[in-house]
Amino acid sequence: MPLLLLACFALLAPAILCLVAAFLWFIRPDLVVKWGIWYGFHSTGMKNHRIRGKKYEYVYGERGTADPNNTSLLFIHGFSASKEMWGPIVKRLPNYLHIIAIDLPGHGDSETPGKDDQVSTEEYVDNIHEFVELIGFTKKPFHMIGTSLGGIIAAIYAIHHVKNIERLTLICPGTRTPETCDFMKGMLEGKGSLVPTTVEEMKYMLDSCYFNKDAIPMYKQILKGSLILREAKNPFFRRLLHSIVEDMKDDSKFNKFEVESRQITCPVQLIWGKEDQVIHTSGVEYLQKLLPNIQKIDIIDKCGHSVGIERAGKTVKLILMFRDELANKKEN
């Protein structure tokens, strides 16, 4: 009898698995997306940690330990993204490097600010400073890498805490640019949306972020799953987006940034997707005039705004070159 039951199970197992997969794909696509994101990040060797600040609990991924012979790296993601977006980069970085990727408050697994809490780029700079002090990152200067919103946060952090920064990599940072892409024009006019609520809006946002449309799967169920995962945080994302748009329109804030950015004396690297349809590549020229110690400028062909996902191998190669750590690293 036991053998007969085992035989029956062996015959039925594929059918059961197919039914479970179909259920998840059509009924709970959010679980499919969530598992895929989780696996993609943690398969790199990153381990999640939590640490409590004065106002928020921060969740971050970490691989390796601090090494006196190598500069640690701190990654800061973009608007409505999370630490998991750095998975393709982390996967390709040498294992000897100490890496930390944080979820900004309101993103990923970190605590979301309350309705009465201030939400702004400046507030995020204070959050990052509290975080690096909590984890002991201020004991030795580190390499900060930020993309999009994370890029402008990293730049402003370096203005105020340049002694903590050994070097700075800005990937398509969310700054004003001499020329403005259509997507950004729409966002500033309240027409475009970085907080999608429909499959069509989600596809439009992703199409605007990627030059290579095959870089991520855009199946309808995947888009639906992504929308479900973001739904609970949408009220916060709208508040944050409003703050970002107001900052973009505020001449006084950018005049202040232009003056203070000259205090960023650490070595700086700029990486930009040549086909970026969110933050125009004319930002390279703009930042060249402001930052006194830009040592490396890399504009990647056939690449949009999501540089670290579209061209992860190329990006890693450029970062290692900036760190003088290429060491025969092959581009993927």
What residues are annotated to the active site?
148, 276, 305
- In the sheet that holds 268-273, the strands lie side by side as 47-52, 57-63, 99-102, 73-76, 142-147, 165-171, 268-273, 294-300
User: What is each CA distance from 18 to 9, 24, 33, 178, in whole angstroms?
Assistant: 14, 10, 17, 53
Is 129 exposed, middle or buried, given 0-12, 13-18 or 19+ CB atoms closer than 10 A?
middle
Is residue 318 helix, strand or coil?
helix
What is the C-alpha separation between 58 and 52, in angstroms, rounded?
Answer: 6
What is the C-alpha separation between 92 and 329, in angstroms, rounded?
Answer: 9
Long-range contact set of residues 8-14: C-beta below 8 Å, sequence gap at least 24: none
| CB-based contact 304:277 (threshold 8 Å) | yes
* Cβ neighbours around 274 below 10 Å, total: 12
- What is the phi-psi region of residue 22: left when phi exceeds 0, alpha when psi lies from -120 to 50, beta otherwise? alpha
Pairing of strands 99-102, 57-63: antiparallel
